[in-house]
A and B are shown apart, each in its own frame.
Chain A
Amino acid sequence: MGRRGQEEAHGVDREPLITVRDVAFSRDGRAIFHDLDLTVMPGRVTVVMGGSGAGKTTLLSLIGGRLVPDAGEIRVAGENVPALSRRQLFALRRRMGMLFQSSALLTDLDVYENVAFPMREHTRLPERLIRDLVLMKLELVGLRGARRLYPAELSGGMARRVALARAIALDPLMVMYDEPFTGLDPISMGVIVKLIRDLNDALGMTSIIVTHDVAEACSIADDIYLLDNGRVSAHGTPAEMQKTTEPAVRQFMAGLPDGPVAFHYPARDYLADLQSAGHA
């Protein structure tokens, strides 16, 4: 399973692992993406940033084939995702890991069984081997001792680490992280940042992270894409992004309340609004 990914990772001309070309997508009549272009190189940590509602999670759903774009092409490991049959899509997803913001652990299974879940579903490994693998994955995220706890007994940070162990259970080509830094205390956040980087490098995986946390994104990313108004407004390495003079990018990176992205929701003149009291 992992071998093909390794070959690609060490390929001479470094084919991109994910390419998103001219993708348009709308939901309930509202356009979320148009002309979206994005490339993820193998072995690297790519961060996609954007404000709330910029469609970051939608992007991951499109790459994972849970949503189908209105137009354009999404290639993952050479396969055109929207054109795959359900069977082919499931085969592809076995080589993808995904970490949900809510961790999405199965609440009726304990930590051990959650990590074993993909192995039991997709392999016929003997119980002893599954045990070794599960303990290894849990050791990687530092939660081998918590294996008999149930998801309800875990803190947010622990749950996310268990979900991470589960996401890498089948040694995927790539892991997608949906807002991995949100809602964590500083220590848990530091742990997750370090884990993502270490796992990416140690296991030769590719990581794609969507987030709005600028500092963490810059500390971990090899490449950054900034989404705005349904398309990529800027991309580059963290250093390039921070040096940029583009006002909208600067506003986002520095977290300024007002700028090209206006503080005020579009409205008519304030004074006129006040004077027309009673006719609201």
Chain B
Amino acid sequence: MNPLAGIGGAVGALGRRALAGIARLGRATLFIARLVPSLGGAWKRARLIVQQLYMTGVLTFVIILVSGAFVGMILALQGYNTLVRYDAQSSLGLLVALALTRELGPVLTALLFAGRAGSALTAEIGLMKATEQLAGMEMMAVDPLLRVVAPRFWAGWIAVPLLAMIFTAVGIIGAYVVAVAVLGLDGGVFWSQMQAGVSVTNDVIGGLIKSVVFGFVISWIAVFEGYDAKPTSEGVSRATTRTVVSSSLAVLGLDFIMTAFMLRGL
């Protein structure tokens, strides 16, 4: 084999993949542009949104509770271990609360949501496409964007910020339990240091804004990948994987950008 030809082939393949990725981004943008007009109408049948909130939000609830508590407890142990060297263990509550409200709450919730609910959303819509349910709806003069996609999109978008707040709150409570019960810190100091250092307008609202953005992006990717999936079992399983990978990368990338903006001062 000619090594140059091999390299040329690899470059060509890379170029094709890049082009396919850009085309996918274009399709996703066109898709959301088509979806937006349906979003308002979806509230006329709020029951569908409630049903989807149950499927996505409530079923992710337990994972979020458990993960939030563990992350908070781990943060407390690790933070204490470092802070105690500088005799600054009284700042433990502040450290944990800042880490959770600004970063870990929104980001970890988004990643967990993408894995648990986002992938399920994609698989469900993809299977509906593969079994001609979406085509069937269209032939019954029912718009699948309005009936199927919009309620799921809304539910995801609403669920993520709520879950992120729950994750953060549970994490702080978990850290408090470890700090007081295991590490023997004073509970009052834990809370008062935290309150003095955490700003609602900057830190809590900042985290909330992040999770609203994450919720939008994950829901968008999940419903798009489902709708765009090749209508075969292999196509659906590929789409499901793509949802988890793309939404995780999107969450981390957007987090970096938003953090840079927020730290520069609101």
Contact = CB atoms under 8 A, between A and B. Distances in A.
**Is B a genuine binding partner of A?**
yes
A90 B133 CA distance: 17
Contacts of A104: 131-133, 135-136
B143 A90 contact: yes
Contacts of B147: 121
Contact of B141 (A94, A107, A166): A94
From B131, B140, B141, B147, residue with most partner A Cβ within 10 Å: B140
Contact of B139 (A93, A102, A107, A117): A93
Interface in A89-121: 90-91, 93-94, 96, 98, 100-102, 104-107, 117-118, 121
A100 B143 contact: no
B141 A93 contact: yes
Contacts of A166: 140
Interface residues of A, number: 21
B141 A91 contact: yes
B140 A118 contact: yes
Contacts of B143: 90
A66 interface: yes
Contact of B142 (A98, A118, A163): A118
A98 B139 contact: yes
A1 to B, nearest CB: 12
Contacts of B135: 66, 100, 104
B186 interface: no
A264 interface: no
A102 B132 CA distance: 7
5 contacts: A98-B139, A118-B140, A121-B140, A121-B141, A121-B142
Given A90-B141, A102-B131, 20 more contacts: A64-B139, A66-B138, A93-B138, A93-B141, A94-B140, A96-B139, A98-B140, A100-B132, A101-B132, A102-B132, A104-B131, A104-B133, A105-B136, A106-B133, A107-B128, A117-B140, A118-B140, A118-B142, A121-B140, A163-B136
